[in-house]
Amino acid sequence: MHAPAHWKDAQEALSACCPVMRRLIDASGQAVLQPRGDPYQTLARSIVGQQISVKAAASVWARFEARCKGKVEPLKVSRMRISSLRECGLDPQHWIEHDDEAVIANLIQVRGIGRWTAEMFLIFNLLRPDVWPLDDIGLLRAIGIHWSDDPEHAWKHRSVKASRAEAAQLGERLRPWRSVATWYLWRSLDPLPVSY
């Protein structure tokens, strides 16, 4: 398995700054986030993971299918002109060169793609190291579970998920490796690695 370039640095920094993260990282052994090379598969899986309606997902894919003459396939998409991708709101080079918020702003212009889906794209396709998806239920549940006894936090002794505000507060401690922390927190809830 090939880890993202930032993975080892993130493990060390998160382990040093947070005992809970150290425990989760140690418990995960050699498992690491595995990217999907195809941006469109990442988006598709993120949309499904977002649990949007079938109708909304069909609408999003209709745009891609129309550009690919009926079937979205990596080879067809890779042969598309940049102008066609841009008309769909997609410009891979733009995403690589711009900060996370600019990529999110670009992606959410596509009907059916929301902030959460764009954040999954940043984590799993662009391998951005510092994404903290505050609308992710799994992340909020894991924080509620693992930090329920942490005296530094207001949600002490609570067994339900953390609020967005509480998660945001914790996220500040985990910068600049919040994507890595997110992955370990998800994995603490389900031993199968998350992949979109």
pLDDT at 154 over 50: no
13: tokens are: 């920094």
CATH number for 142: 1.10.1670.40
Domain that holds residue 73: 39-124
Instruction: Tell me the pLDDT tens digit for each residue of 43-83.
Output: 666 655 454 444 544 555 566 678 777 666 666 766 767 67
Number of folded domains in the chain? 2
Same domain, 111 and 173: no
